[in-house]
Amino acid sequence: MGRVQGKVALVTGAAAGIGRAAAVALAAEGAKVVVTDVDEKGGAETVDIIGKAGGEASFLPQDVADEARWQEIVAAVKEKHGALHILVNNAGIGVGARIFDMPVEDWRRQMAINVDGVFFGVKHGIPLMAESGGGSVVNISSVAGLQGAPGLAGYCATKGAVRLFTKAVALECAQEKMNVRVNSVHPGIIDTDIWNKIPQGGTSALQSDLIPEGANTIDAGALGEMAAPLGFAGIPADIANGIVFLASDESRYMTGSELVIDGGMTAR
């Protein structure tokens, strides 16, 4: 018996990185996983990886910043599986910029994906979860939702929002006796492609601070060595392990809480 045997899970941003690792781990523990992402090729690859490992998964293209699409996705999950028990709001982007130079378009795009996306997931996903007898929502925040980082002020704003939004929604679900738990996960430096996508050109505070000399993009491995007390960057599976725990009934007494997986970064 898997730890989430027979449950229906929806993981956003699951074409790569942490989302893919979460989808793979949930499927390995017996969940039927709906993989969504704007990246259709990567999404299909995730489904393929799960299928080859003997798990069950399907892909739906989704931009999490689009509310109407969220409604279609939840309707499609209900139609195919008749239920939703696990929702991992993982899709996210990082825009590095000195805040004084940040175009409002970048601010809004990051807010739309990292914050609106989580709001829509909660708004449209939780009613189906409640209808399904209950479940667990896992919102992916960051250490950047717990402490500031120069060059990442916009990103910190989105991840701080996810942290407190999670707590308030957890309380609403408890108050309404929905049997839905809602928690946030706070990864530290995890070696995924997000770090290669962050530099936007120009001279951001982030770039000058975090890009190792001679490199074009942020090297997550080098950054992990530098910034994490454990002395190395995490891998997506480190976060997926926490996600499976929060998704499963092992965490039945946890709601509105923060699971920090950061190699000690925020212990200082």
The residue within the footprint of ligand NAD, chosen from 2, 44, 60, 63 (CB under 6 A), is 63
Q: Which stretch binds ligand NAD (CB under 6 A): 163-171, 193-201, 242-250, 253-261?
A: 193-201
**From 155, 158, 183, 205, active-site residue:** 155
**Contacting ligand NAD within 65-104 (CB under 6 A):** 65, 90-94
* Segment lying near ligand NAD (by CB under 6 A), choices 17-25, 49-57, 209-217, 245-253: 17-25
Is position 142 an interface residue for ligand NAD (rule: CB under 6 A)?
yes
Query: In this structure, are residues 94 and 198 in contact, taking their beta carbons and an 8 Å threshold?
Result: yes
CB of residue 167 vs ligand NAD: minimum separation in angstroms?
A: 18
Q: Interface with ligand NAD by CB under 6 A: which range of 27-35, 50-58, 70-78, 188-196? A: 188-196
For position 160 contacting ligand NAD by CB under 6 A, the verdict is no
**Helix H or strand E segment including 126:** helix 117-131
Among the listed residues 9, 10, 16, 122, the single contact to ligand NAD using CB under 6 A:
16
Q: How far apart are the C-alpha atoms of 82 and 16, rounded to whole Å?
A: 27
Structure tokens at 36: 């969504």
Q: Pick left, alpha or beta for residue 6 (phi over 0 → left; psi -120 to 50 → alpha; otherwise beta).
A: left
Q: CA-CA distance, 185 to 23, in Å (whole number)?
A: 15
Q: Which stretch binds ligand NAD (CB under 6 A): 56-64, 98-106, 163-171, 173-181?
A: 56-64
Asked if residue 37 binds ligand NAD (CB under 6 A), the reply is yes
CB distance 137 to 11 below 8 Å: no
CA distances from 118 to 62, 63, 165, 166, 180 (A): 13, 12, 9, 9, 15
Residue 54: CB minimum distance to ligand NAD, A: 23
Q: Give yes or no for residue 13 binding ligand NAD (CB under 6 A).
A: yes
Token pair of 152, please? 């990442």
User: Does the active-site annotation cover 253?
Assistant: no
Nearer to ligand NAD, 55 or 263 (CB): 263
Alpha carbon of 199 to those of 96, 154, 261: distances in Å?
Answer: 6, 14, 24
- Sign of the dihedral through C-alpha 260, 261, 265, 268: positive
Nearest distance in Å: CB 6, ligand NAD: 26
Q: Is 189 in the site for ligand NAD (CB under 6 A)?
A: yes
Q: What angle do CA 104, 105, 108 make, to 5 degrees?
A: 85
Catalytic residue annotation: 155
Can you give the binding site for ligand NAD, defined by CB under 6 A? 12-13, 15-19, 37-39, 42, 62-65, 90-94, 113, 140, 142, 187, 189-190, 192-194, 197
